[in-house]
Structure 1
Amino acid sequence: MEIENITLTQNPVLMKFKLFGFLCCIYLFSAVIAFSQTARKTVVSISTDKFLINEKLTYAGQIWNGHTIEGLLMNSRMVQGIFDDLNPETVSNWKYPDTKKWDSDRNTDEFVANMPIWKSYGLLSFTINLQGGSPFGYSQGQPWINSPYTSEGELKPEYFKRLEKILDKADEIGMVPIVGLFYFGQDDHLANEKAVVNAVSNAVDWILEKGYTNVLIEVNNECNVRYDHEILQPERVHELIELVKSKQKDGRRLLVSTSYGGGTIPKENVVQASDFMLLHGNGVSDPDEIVKMVEKTRNVASYKPMPILFNEDDHFNFDQPKNNFTAAVSAYASWGYFDYRMKDEGFEEGYQSVPVDWGINSERKKGFFELLKEITGY
C-alpha cells in the first residue's frame, strides 16, 4: 500500500503542532535569558543580631582576642563609587592628576577593579551613597550637583548604569553593599516631599527588579544633619524606612535602616522600624565611648536584638591595641572605616575625596586593612 506524501501546508493539524513547538522554544529561551539576568549568587540575611551570607554566618568560627567576630559585617565608607558632578562650574575640582580631567566611568571602573582586593582582607561590606558624600571629606556648602534623581524623583539612567556595575561585582564575589539613598546638601535638588518619596520608590523598585539579594539600604546619611525635607529628618524618617520595607518582589524585600551624625544614639521611632542599627563614630575620640554608644543603643526602649554597625568613623590609631575599631569589636558591633584626603596630602589618600584612588596604598589604608585581616582571619 502506498502512503500518501502529505506536506505541512496540506495538514493544518501538523501546522498547528509545529507552530506550538516553535512558540514553546521561544518562551523557554526567553525564560532562560530572563533567569540568567536576575539569578544572583549572594544573599544577605539577619538572624537576631547576626549577619549571614548565603545562610552562613559571616566570619564563621572566628574569635579575635577573646571576642567573637562571627556574624559581624566589617565595612568601609566608599560612598563615591558612582560620583559625578553635573555643575560645569565645579566639575574641574575633581580632575585626575594624570589626565587633568574628571571621568565618572573611570571612577566606577577603578572601584570595581579593587573590590576583590578589599574582599581578600575580609571586607564584606561597603557603603555607597547614590548622592555621594562631601568630596572634601567635610564641607559646609555643596555647590556641586551629584544626584541620580531628577527634581521629581525619577532615576537618571547613567547613574544606575554605574551602580549596576558595582552591585553586579559585589554579588559575584560575595559582598554586601550598603546603598544610601540620600546625602544632606544634595537632597535639596529634589523639588518636594513627593519627589523624595518617588525617589525612594523608584530606587528600591530598581534594585528589586534587578534581582539583587545582597543589598542593604541606608535611607539617608546622618538624618539629623541639615536635610531640607522633613521626611528625611529624625522625627519622620521612619516613614521612608517603612516605605522601603513595604516594597516586595517575589516575596522578598530589602533590609533597611538609616544613620545619625557622630556620637548620636538612634531615636525610638527609627529603632522600632529598622532591621539593623547604623551608628557613626565621628567626633568620638575615646574608644570607651564607642562601647557606651553600643550599650546605649541596646538600651533604647524599642530595641530588639538586631545587628549594630558603625558605617562611618574617621578615627584610626590602628597600630594601638585600643582604638575605635577594636572597641566596637569588643562590644560585638561591626565597624566601618571612613577616610578622606586631608590638607596637603597626596592622591592616594582617602576613599571619600574625589578623584579617588581606590587602591590600598596609603599608610592609613594599609593600617586599616591589615588590622581588618587580623581580626577577621582572612
Structure 2
Amino acid sequence: MGKTNISIENESFLINGKLTYSEINTSKPQAHGLLMNARFIQGIFDDQANPGRFARWGHLEWNAEANTQALVDALPQWYGYGLRAFTVGFQGGGPCFTVSNDTIDNNPFGKDGTELDSAYTERMDTLIRGADEQGMAVIVSYFYGAQARRLKDGRAVRNAVIGASKFLHEGDYTNVLIEVANEMNISAFKEHPIVREPEGMASLIDLAREASGGMAVGCSGGGYRNREVAESSDYILIHGNSQTRQRYYAMIQEIKGWEQNKPIVCNEDSQALGNMGVAFKTHTSWGYYNNITK
C-alpha cells in the first residue's frame, strides 16, 4: 500500500522522501520537516455499553461507521489548511464532558488483550486508507487511561500491543506512526505499572516496533517527559495542555538538551495558539485539540 510514505530523518519528517511542506512554494523553510497535526482521537469511537446516548450533534442515532466516514470526508479540507497528520485512538479519549468516561465501553481489545474487535479494525483501516489517499499521516494511539482499566493485567496490555501492532503490520500501511499510550503518567494508568513506569513503557515501545514490522513508535505524557522513554522512542511525543508558553518552551529545551536528534511532536494542546508559536520557533511539531465544544 501507500501513496503516502511517512519517514523520519534526524529531527524532521518526510512524506514521500521530501520534507513536509516543502511542496508548497510559498512555505517558509522553518516549517519544512514539521508535522502539524490535530487530535481526532474519536475517529473510530463506539460505545458498547450504551451507544444511544451519543445520538447527538444533529443525528437521531449513533452510527460508528458513519462517524469514521465523516472524518474521512473532511480530510481534504483539513489538508488544504495545512494539516499533515492526526491522532486516532483504538480506545478513543474522553468524548464529552457530560458522560462519565468510566461508564463508556470503548475497549476493542477484550479483557485479556487478545480479542481485537474486527469492527474497530475495519474503521481504522478505512481511516488510515482515507488519510493515505489525501497525503496525510496517522498517529495510531493504543491506550487511553479510562479504557485501559478494562484490561485485566500487564500481560493483557502486552497482548493488546502485539495485536494492534500486528494489525498495522498486516495492513502494509506506510503512513502510520504509533503512540503506545495517551499520557502514560496519569493516575488512570495506576493499575498498569507496565504503562505508567518508564521501564515498562520502554519495553512496550520495543514490542510495538517489533510487532509492527519497524514502524516509528513513541508515547506521550501529560506535561511529562522522561529520558528513558525518549531514548526508546523513534519520535518524542509531548502534550502542552495547561502549559504556559514559558513552561512549554522550557520543556522543549530540556528534551533538546538530551541530544536525541529525533523529532519532538506535541499531539495535544487545546487552543493554546501561543504554544504553537513556540513550537514553530523551536522547530517542533504541534497538535490542535478541541476540548471546548465537547
- TM-score, normalised to structure 2, is 0.93
Decide which of 262, 266, 269 is 1:310's aligned counterpart.
266
The one-letter code of the counterpart of 1:298 is K
Decide which of 326, 332, 339 is 2:290's aligned counterpart.
339
Aligned partners of 1:62 and 1:69 also within 8 Å: no
The one-letter code of the counterpart of 1:53 is I
Deviation at 1:272, TM superposition (A): 1.1
Q: Which residue of 2 aligns with 1:233?
A: 196
Deviation at 1:329, TM superposition (A): 0.6
Aligned partners of 1:62 and 1:68 also within 8 Å: no
Whether 1:218 and 2:179 are equivalent positions in the alignment is yes
The one-letter code of the counterpart of 1:246 is E
Q: Which residue of 2 aligns with 1:112?
A: 72
User: Matched residues in 1 for 2:212 and 2:241: separation?
Assistant: 34
| Structure 1 portions without partners, runs of 5+ | 1-38, 343-348, 354-378
Whether 1:278 and 2:237 are equivalent positions in the alignment is yes
Aligned partners of 1:63 and 1:70 also within 8 Å: no
Aligned partners of 2:94 and 2:101 also within 8 Å: no
User: Matched residues in 1 for 2:15 and 2:85: separation?
Assistant: 11
Deviation at 1:41, TM superposition (A): 1.4
Q: Which residue of 1 aligns with 2:132?
A: 171
Q: Which residue of 2 aligns with 1:298?
A: 256
Structure 2 SS opposite 1:142:
helix
Query: Would the alpha carbon gap of residues 326 and 139 (structure 1) be closer, same or farther in structure 2, given more than 3 Å must change?
Result: farther
Deviation at 1:190, TM superposition (A): 1.2
Whether 1:329 and 2:251 are equivalent positions in the alignment is no
User: Over aligned residues, Cα RMSD in angstroms?
Assistant: 2.1
Query: Would the alpha carbon gap of residues 275 and 97 (structure 1) be closer, same or farther in structure 2, given more than 3 Å must change?
Result: closer
Deviation at 1:66, TM superposition (A): 7.4
Decide which of 123, 144, 149 is 1:162's aligned counterpart.
123
- TM-score, normalised to structure 1, is 0.73
Q: Which residue of 1 aligns with 2:46?
A: 84
Structure 1 SS opposite 2:167:
helix
Deviation at 1:191, TM superposition (A): 1.8
Number of residue pairs the alignment of both structures matches: 290
Aligned partners of 2:42 and 2:93 also within 8 Å: yes
Query: Would the alpha carbon gap of residues 63 and 172 (structure 1) be closer, same or farther in structure 2, given more than 3 Å must change?
Result: closer
Whether 1:181 and 2:142 are equivalent positions in the alignment is yes
What is the percent sequence identity of the aligned residues?
Answer: 36
User: Matched residues in 1 for 2:57 and 2:11: separation?
Assistant: 44
The 5 A counterparts of 1:48-87 are 48-60=10-22, 68-87=30-49
Query: Would the alpha carbon gap of residues 77 and 204 (structure 1) be closer, same or farther in structure 2, given more than 3 Å must change?
Result: same
Give structure 1 regions of 4+ aligned residues with deviation exceeding 4 angstroms: 61-67, 137-141
Deviation at 1:245, TM superposition (A): 1.9
User: Matched residues in 2 for 1:99 and 1:187: separation?
Assistant: 29
User: Matched residues in 1 for 2:282 and 2:99: separation?
Assistant: 31
Query: Would the alpha carbon gap of residues 299 and 240 (structure 1) be closer, same or farther in structure 2, given more than 3 Å must change?
Result: same
User: Matched residues in 2 for 1:328 and 1:234: separation?
Assistant: 27
User: Matched residues in 2 for 1:283 and 1:189: separation?
Assistant: 28
Deviation at 1:187, TM superposition (A): 0.4
Structure 1 SS opposite 2:139:
strand
Q: Which residue of 2 aligns with 1:45?
A: 7
Deviation at 1:247, TM superposition (A): 2.5
Aligned partners of 2:168 and 2:212 also within 8 Å: no
User: Matched residues in 1 for 2:251 and 2:28: separation?
Assistant: 21
Structure 1 SS opposite 2:86:
strand
Aligned partners of 1:222 and 1:259 also within 8 Å: yes
Structure 1 SS opposite 2:102:
coil
Structure 2 SS opposite 1:312:
coil
